[in-house]
Every structure is written in C-alpha cells, then in structure tokens.
Copies of this chain bind each other. A is one copy, B any other.
Amino acid sequence: MVGKVFENGFALDLLPSTDDYHEGVIVENLEITAPMAPEVFGARLRASISEWKRKGKKGVWIKFPLELANLVESAIKEGFRYHHAEPSYLMMTYWIPQSPCMLPANASHRVRVGAIVLNDKREVLVVQEKSGILRGRGLWKIPTGMVDKDEDIEAAATREVKEETGIDTEFKDILLFRQSHKAFFDKSELFFLCILRPLSFDIQKQDLEIEAAQWLSLEEFAAQPFVQQNDLCECITDLCLARANHDYSRFVPVVTPARSIPDKGLQYVYLNAKTLLRGESF
C-alpha cells in the first residue's frame, strides 16, 4: 500500500506497507525508498498511523536496517517500541487500538545441546573448556553448545562434538530436556541432552575453546565432585546407565514433510521411540 495524505497543504507519501494475517501492517524495504530526514520520516509515519487507524488496523511492524538507525528515535517519539533485533536490523512495533496489545512476543529461548557420546567400553567423550564459568577447575564435561540459527537439534549435537573433539558421530536420541529462565540476559533456555554413537575414536581437539579432551569411564565421570553436587549431571549419569541397560525409552526424531507449509521443507518431530517400534502412525 502506498498512498498520499496532505499535511499543512503538502502532499506526504504514506509509508509503503503490506497487510499481515492478523489485521496488522508490515513496513519493510524502507532502505530502497528515497533517503529520508528523521523529521520527514516522523511526519510520514504520523500520517500513515492515522490512515491505518482509519482502516481498523491493529499492530504495526517496521523493520529498520542498520543504515536507517537515524530514524529509530522518530519512531520512538511516535510510540513505537523495540520488538527484536538481529545483527543487521531492528524490528519495532506499535499497537494502534486501545485494547491490550496482542502482538506476539520476541523469541524467548535460546536452545543448547549437550552430547553424550558413549563408546562400547562404557566410556564417555569429555572435554575441559578454556573459557567460561567452569574453566580452570579441572572439570571433565560433555561437549555442549548453542543450536545455530535454523539448525536442527540433532545436527547441532553432531556438529558440536565434531568441532570440539574431531569425533564423527551418529545421533541416536534425546535423553531429556530442561527449561531454565534468566539463562542469558533476560532470556530462557531449553537444554536438550542427546545420546550419540561414535563413528570414529581418534580425538583431535579444537584449540580455540578446548583445553583437553579424552574418553573417560562413566564411573570416573560420575565421581567428579562437581557432578555429584549438580542434579542434572547426576541425572545424566543415572540415565546413561539406565540406557546402557536398554531400559530407558526415549524421544527420537522423525522427519516429516511439512505438507501444510509447502515452502518450509522437512521438519523434525520428536516422539517416543516405543510408538515407532510398534509401527504406529508415521
């Protein structure tokens, strides 16, 4: 939508916008319109808000690329607030109606994986990290790391193991997951503990982040004071032992074509292994 309104006798272009599925509008590609002084942008924004209000629109989204940071203050003056940001852009929102704001919140969680790589000798692949809160404490821990943008949980687990230790692995399943809050600034975290089978055994540690890496018996891993003082670590070793005895049923990923969302390709659904083994659904 591009239109004009008149303010003080001058023709003012409305901001280019598209409608969304929730009775709102999205302003994008501002950088390809002519450069604007902050005052001009402010006037166009005010005029556009009036027009959107007249049409009964609710939420307004404006995407500011890095090079238009000079317009952000004008948007704040018109009542806009930050919604989310990525390295190259800032998304701001405004709720037009008097009713409570119904705009969806920003991404709230980061997702982290831990990788338990168990070999046939019941040894677990462990590392010591060079930085972070655990450095210099001699603690042997499993490889862990953040799930990258657009990365599947199982891909993240195999990637982290390969990066930190050089070991190739095959993803088996998810043993457990944990939700915790205020994990990273104001954000929450979902931590997925994965089981992987090693496909190679010769450790080549990464120098940047990793101080040392080795295969350690599950018993020695469990005997570390840090592990014994930490519920989750204790739980990990208990579950590892349960799994080694084949009596723990767990979540496994199933690839499903995203039929209802044709452009989104494949998706992973995690569900209980026992259902699969019975050959039900999927």
Whether A256 contacts B275 by the Cβ 8 Å rule is no
- When all copies of this chain in the complex are counted, the total is 2
Size of A's binding interface in residues, CB under 8 A = 89
Task: Using CB atoms, name the residue of chain B closest to A180.
Answer: B267
Which among A1-9, A77-85, A210-218 touches the partner chain?
A77-85
Chain B residues near A132 (CB-CB < 8 A)? 21-22
Whether B234 contacts A281 by the Cβ 8 Å rule is yes
Whether A152 contacts B131 by the Cβ 8 Å rule is no
Tell me, yes or no, whether A147 is within 8 Å of chain B by CB: yes
- Given A107-B108, A251-B251, verify A239-B179 contact (CB < 8 Å): no
Cα distance A180–B256 when bound, in Å? 11
- Given A85-B83, A108-B147, verify A131-B270 contact (CB < 8 Å): no
Tell me, yes or no, whether A36 is within 8 Å of chain B by CB: no
Question: A residues engaging B (CB < 8 A)?
Answer: 21-23, 66, 69-70, 72-73, 76, 81-91, 99, 102, 104-111, 131-133, 146-150, 152-153, 175-182, 184-188, 190, 208-209, 229-232, 234-235, 238-239, 242, 247-251, 256-261, 264, 267-272, 274-275, 278, 280-282
